[in-house]
């Protein structure tokens, strides 16, 4: 287990929703964090078949390009009734032929796939969001942190907060979808607090406990 001994890191992502959430989470720790997107790093191809593999590909590409420790996030929605789909292909489900992303279309695809399975009752729509954060150093060392949040796919999209599939994910024990929560409510975590809510905040909490002397 390696500690992070610098206050400058790169957030190895080109996804503005993720970059904003990681910036929120890391803010209180006094880091100067720039993103792979603003540094114009090439987006590596995600050729892995697990969240861990893809997280490592992104973090290592950024660590090598920048010479700085880099923190990536590979995440996705895992739906039981769809045998774990879209899983590591969650971003691909939103892709148009021209490479742009359309999450209204992706959420409609999820709904259609569930309808095709006859999965209309909440108990048949169990799902979880998974986030694997990888911290990679330029010498190739990596540390991984996995966070998951259980929930269900809502009957229809609700809310306009957050990003991606947030409007259709209702975390267990909550009445609102992530799309109806503020960023703070979705993270459900502040430094020093025991519990976090979102998959990303849960993984981030493990990163803090492992790599930071916080
Ligand atoms: P990745 O860049 O391959 O990790 O893609 C992850 C996909 O999962 C993207 O399409 C995201 O929109 C979606 N996703 C991951 N985390 C969240 C989240 O917190 N809310 C909504 N969608 C998410």
pLDDT, one tens digit for every residue, the chain (214 residues): 999 999 999 999 999 999 999 999 999 999 889 999 999 999 999 999 999 999 999 999 999 999 999 999 999 999 999 999 999 999 999 999 998 999 999 999 999 999 999 999 999 999 999 999 999 999 999 999 999 999 999 999 999 999 999 999 999 999 999 999 999 999 999 888 889 999 999 999 999 999 997 6
List the domain boundaries for the chain: 8-211
CATH 3.30.70.20 matches 8-211: no
Active-site annotation holds for 102: no
Spot the catalytic one: 5, 24, 73, 74. 74
Distance 59 CA to ligand 1 centre (A): 16
Question: b/e map of 161-199 (b: 16 or more CB within 10 Å)?
Answer: bbebbbbbbbbeebeebbbbbeeeebbbbeeeeeebbbb
Q: Which atom of ligand 1 is nearest to the CA of 163?
A: 21
Name residues whose C-beta falls within 8 Å of residue 139's C-beta, 6 or more positions apart in sequence.
none
Distance 213 CA to ligand 1 centre (A): 28
């Amino acid at each position: 287990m390696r500690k992070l001994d610098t206050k400058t890191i790169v957030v190895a992502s080109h996804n503005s929703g993720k970059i904003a959430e990681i910036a929120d989470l890391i803010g209180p720790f006094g880091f100067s964090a720039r993103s792979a997107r603003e540094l114009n790093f090439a987006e590596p191809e995600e050729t892995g078949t697990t969240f861990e593999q893809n997280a490592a590909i992104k973090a290592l590409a950024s660590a090598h390009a920048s010479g700085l420790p880099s923190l990536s996030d590979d995440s996705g929605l895992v739906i039981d009734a769809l045998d774990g789909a879209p899983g590591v292909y969650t971003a691909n489900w939103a892709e148009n032929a021209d490479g742009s992303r359309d999450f209204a279309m992706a959420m409609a695809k999820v709904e259609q796939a569930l309808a095709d399975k006859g999965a209309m009752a909440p108990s048949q729509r169990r799902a979880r969001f998974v986030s694997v954060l990888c911290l990679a150093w330029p010498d190739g060392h990596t540390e991984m942190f996995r966070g998951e949040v259980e929930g269900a796919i809502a009957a229809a999209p609700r809310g306009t907060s957050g990003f991606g599939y947030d409007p259709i994910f209702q975390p267990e024990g909550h009445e609102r979808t992530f799309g109806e929560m503020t960023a703070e409510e979705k993270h459900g975590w502040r430094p020093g607090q025991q519990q976090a809510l979102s998959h990303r905040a849960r993984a981030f909490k493990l990163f803090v406990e492992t790599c930071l002397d916080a």
